[in-house]
Amino acid sequence: MPRTGWGKPMGRMAVAVAAVAALVSMPAGAESILDKLTLDSVHTGSIRIGRATVPLPEGEWIVTALNEAKNTSNSVLATVTLASFAGEKLSGYITIDLNADMSASGWTPHQFCHRTDVYFIHKDADYGNDQACWGVNHYVFDKTSTYKPTQGKNIQATLAGRGQTMPSTMIYALYRLSDRSNYLTYAVHVNPALSGFADETGKWADSSWHKDLIGASPDKVAYLEAFKAKAAPLYAAMKDGGLYTGRADPAAAAKPAPGGASQTTAAPSVEQRLTTLKDLHDRQVITPAEYEAKRKEILGGL
């Protein structure tokens, strides 16, 4: 049974840095992840997703869902969900979002890098298409989800099939690394209930895990600090190794097209932005509160 030690309050994170120091570029052209990955396959150390080899936290991780979709620029985007169990209990789950083919038009910046309401955040870059950040926070889950991957089931449905319910609150580390050509959004969630903490229900802002309230619970602060220490090497392994080799040259991307016409990228429409936002919410990359706040901001610009 796949297991992970990330849900424990203490312990040493084992990242196979030698094997996964970089996300390695494959030959040009999008490669379907559905041809290379299979549901229920178990991975340790790293996972190959299309053009990339992505490092994993310690433990065994099982693929529970695969998704592919095209954005408005016709780029193929991939999402892989993995889970790990301690006995029959969910100890952790991972979502990995990345582009299957390179782009010269860039990506919408991820809001996590801008946040000031999370327990911890570290930023090395956050301007234009370039983002390099990671942080630690809590997430309050719905018991069901409308997310329908191309293959497999969303994490709530996966647990229901095992006779379990989704933990109400989980702790996660989110990593965002992007440039004009590539992006990676990577979230590792762990279940604090396996370390003896009560599974809290209620609103995100009222949770005792909230950064403004957690000071009253030294044991929870210690748990988050231990989790942060385990999560940091994963960010370092990805960032220091470089996300992809053979990145597109930003200067080349800015050169005029043949015939003297300049290459420009149209700003996404309101409908496109709302669709992207809804997708992020359905895949639980952002919280319901973040979804509503950003939705109001987009609609307020009409």
DSSP sequence for the chain = ----STTSSS------HHHHSS----SSS---GGGT--TT-EESSEEEETTEEEE--SS-EEEEEEEEEE-TT--EEEEEEEEEEETTEEEEEEEEEEESS--SS--PPPGGGG-SSSSEEEEEEEETTEEEEEEEEEEEPPSS-----SEE--HHHHHHHTT----SEEEEEEEEEE-SS-EEEEEEEE-GGGGT-----S-GGG-TTSTTTGGG-HHHHHHHHHHHHHHHHHHHHHHHH-S-SSPPPHHHHTSPPGGGPPP--PPPPHHHHHHHHHHHHHTTSS-HHHHHHHHHHHHHT-
pLDDT for residue 293 is more than 60: yes
Cβ partners under 8 Å of residue 232, min gap 6:
134
Query: Which pair of tokens denotes residue 266?
Result: 């149209």
Q: What local confidence, expressed as pLDDT, does residue 241 receive? A: 52
Cβ partners under 8 Å of residue 213, min gap 6:
206, 207
Q: What is the pLDDT of residues 201-254, one digit of tens each?
A: 999 999 999 999 999 999 999 999 999 999 999 998 888 654 444 333 333 333
Residue 137's DSSP bridge partners are 172
Q: What is the pLDDT of residues 71-91, one digit of tens each?
A: 877 788 999 999 999 998 999
Mean of all residue pLDDT scores within the chain: 80
Q: What local confidence, expressed as pLDDT, does residue 104 receive? A: 66
Quick one: pLDDT band at residue 264, thresholds 50, 70, 90? very low
Closest CA to 183 of 265, 229, 256, 128: 128
Please state the pTM of the whole predicted model.
0.74
Q: What local confidence, expressed as pLDDT, does residue 31 receive? A: 62
Q: What is the pLDDT of residues 27-58, one digit of tens each?
A: 344 567 788 899 999 999 999 887 788 999 99
